[in-house]
Amino acid sequence: MEWYKDDTIPIPSTGTQEAWEKMPYFFSDRNEGRTRWGVRYSNYTLHQTMMKNYYRMATEVDTACGAILEELRRQDALNNTVII
């Protein structure tokens, strides 16, 4: 939880109510995109928490993939491995 703790995640131009209102008609209140938008952008504190957690998860996945690749290199198996 220390990763990104002191960072401020900017709100993108699409993270405003005005931007949401410009979305196509099929992004109604029953659309999953609307639900996710609300979770990410309904208030500043929630946005910071959600996005920092998302970045933490992506960083952890990247770190794990790097460790796997390094182990494959160590075992001289990287050129005989397909990564999907």
Which residue shows structure tokens 């703790």? Answer: 5
Closest-CA residue to 41 (of 74, 66, 69, 19): 19
Residue 25 has pLDDT above 90, yes or no: no
The pLDDT tens digits for 28-73 are 777 887 778 777 888 889 999 999 999 999 999 999 999 999 999 9
The answer to whether the Cα torsion of 78, 79, 80, 81 is positive or negative is positive
Q: What is the reported pLDDT for 17?
A: 82
Give the Å distances, CA to CA, from 63 to 8, 30, 71, 82. 22, 36, 12, 19
Q: What is the reported pLDDT for 15?
A: 82
Closest-CA residue to 15 (of 25, 23, 3, 4): 23
Mean pLDDT of 8-35: 83
